[in-house]
Structure 1
């Protein structure tokens, strides 16, 4: 891993004496406030904002996506009887069980995310994490804008855009986690990840509420436009980090 150059390397070098304190943990509220101020004084403030937008996008898109696939895009449930031999089908057709296809599509999206995380993890050792963030969130912004138009073209395009969404949705996670470490003083590493998960799962949880509100007062097109805005904001933060951090010699 690279530790030279920019704010990430400087912070780690300048805080060598803080490792002992980190081992003892935060012993008082005043110490927590002091260490938090030290943490947010550098580039971590931008990283924290970035992970908040990541959490908002993730929760915003995953909370209602199965319902959107079924109602807005129009994936109809498949009767189980259509998949069975005629001799095994009995009872009223109105009471026949059905398979919710949108749930299988959603499960496939999450499965593709496994490969996204793997690729993202590999790339963190090959390229600067800021570049991965810019590429990943830039792709998520484009996917949010294109999702409904592409999905309406048919089953094939729907599966393709869902696969891309799942891939990039999880690919960005190794990048922002590595970025947290690079922009954090060594003695404050544990505190930084505490704030990171506060941003992703705490503030990010509002993404579901925001998505629900938008679907109540507007429509799915407005929802995906807002999601694109979240991803675009994260992309701009990544560009800012990339410009602020000198290229290693």
Structure 2
């Protein structure tokens, strides 16, 4: 990579890591917030759904803004907003202020992915390599952000931990002021389109996406997103309810073994993402997508029964769950590309993020409602059913397009 590519890679890796650190650390705080704010899982699920949902809802507008105004300033604004929103969580005296803080965080987080991916696609000469480094940055945030959070929660009050976690955002903004790069180095300048032309183009291209294949793919992604958010939001709390993961005291403070099982599941997910990406080079992607969704459905149904067995079989199910959950992501991203015309891939991914993070955010509210009025077994059975429904949709793709056309 040349100097420009290295600067873009470093900048986007850090911002991507920040995004996933915050996204996947929030479930660790939910266990605490249930007691601190004395609210039901349903209420807290709705609160979190609003913030997570904004990530998807804002994806398409963010993509349009990136095309009109450039990516660098948007990424900086996103990191600043995420830092402010996350910091505000530490100041929340009640669940209403907590929701306001999560809304600020979610709105700012929605800017990142379209802006970051656009920056790489327009500014990096070696796009594939920079995309790979960008993924590594996200994986580091996915795995080690929650692990750091869990370790800090053993030693410090949750509000102080949140403040500590905002420090990296300050570092990313400081780094952005020190580096220089050309965000249009890999494309020729043709003057671009006006905002009105951009809007008309977006509407016209959206109509092109209303094909049977892409719509079915979108619905399958939406169900996967609901499963993903519904599972992860309350997963530490669900594991913590199991007798073999009871709270213990260390250094005079309570420690939650469930938090480390949760972070272990996320770490296994790194391997899943890698394998899922490699599989798409060798297997028809619909088959891989079908296999992952089917596995997620089965694992949801056996999760509670296996928890009553010995520790080793249960941890094996947890590992398989983390692997399958994250292996699905690179697979559906390839499916999206295959069912959308090449010149509207950017818009197609905007819609994919809308399904994954926007509509999928309802999974947190769904999970909270079921946990409040039913139990963990009902939640996992519901999520398992959603995954199998998604598998059925992918199967219909295979029937409609037997040759992969």
Q: Residue deviations 1:3-24, cap 9 Å, x none?
A: xxxxxxxxxxxxxxxxx9x998
Q: Residue deviations 1:60-80, cap 9 Å, x none?
A: 000001001111455112322
Q: Which has the higher helix share?
A: 2
Q: For the Cα contact (< 8 Å) 1:73–1:151, is it kept in 2?
A: no
CA drift of 1:25 comes to 8.7
**1:27 aligned partner:** 197
Matched, 1:138 2:294: yes
Q: For the Cα contact (< 8 Å) 2:398–2:404, is it kept in 1?
A: no
Residue 156 to residue 181, structure 1, CA distance change in 2 (3 Å): same
- TM-score in terms of structure 1 length: 0.81
Query: Which stretches in structure 1 are left out of the alignment for 5+ residues?
Result: 1-19, 82-95
Residue 43 to residue 106, structure 1, CA distance change in 2 (3 Å): same
**1:190 aligned partner:** 346
Residue 207 to residue 155, structure 1, CA distance change in 2 (3 Å): same
Q: For the Cα contact (< 8 Å) 1:141–1:229, is it kept in 2?
A: yes
> Of 160, 174, 180, which residue of structure 1 is paired with 2:330?
174
- TM-score in terms of structure 2 length: 0.50
- Describe the SS at the equivalent of 1:148: helix
The whole-number CA distance in structure 2 between the counterparts of 1:225 and 1:60 is: 12
- Describe the SS at the equivalent of 1:37: helix
**2:219 aligned partner:** 49
The whole-number CA distance in structure 2 between the counterparts of 1:138 and 1:226 is: 14
The whole-number CA distance in structure 2 between the counterparts of 1:73 and 1:138 is: 29
Matches within 5 A, 1:29-108: 29-80=199-250, 96-108=252-264
Structure of higher RCO (CA pairs closer than 8 Å, 6+ residues apart): 1
**2:358 aligned partner:** 202
The whole-number CA distance in structure 2 between the counterparts of 1:74 and 1:126 is: 40
Q: Residue deviations 1:15-39, cap 9 Å, x none?
A: xxxxx9x998982544433321211
Q: Residue deviations 1:47-66, cap 9 Å, x none?
A: 11011011000000000010
**1:163 aligned partner:** 319
CA drift of 1:138 comes to 0.4
**1:8 aligned partner:** none
Question: How many equivalent residue pairs?
Answer: 215
Q: Residue deviations 1:160-212, cap 9 Å, x none?
A: 11101000000111110000000001121111000000110100111001100
Runs of 4+ in 1 over 3 A off after TM superposition: 22-26, 28-31
Matched, 1:150 2:306: yes
The structure having more radius of gyration, on CA atoms, is: 1
The whole-number CA distance in structure 2 between the counterparts of 1:60 and 1:184 is: 28
Residue 75 to residue 34, structure 1, CA distance change in 2 (3 Å): same
Residue 99 to residue 110, structure 1, CA distance change in 2 (3 Å): same
**2:268 aligned partner:** 112
Q: For the Cα contact (< 8 Å) 2:242–2:307, is it kept in 1?
A: no
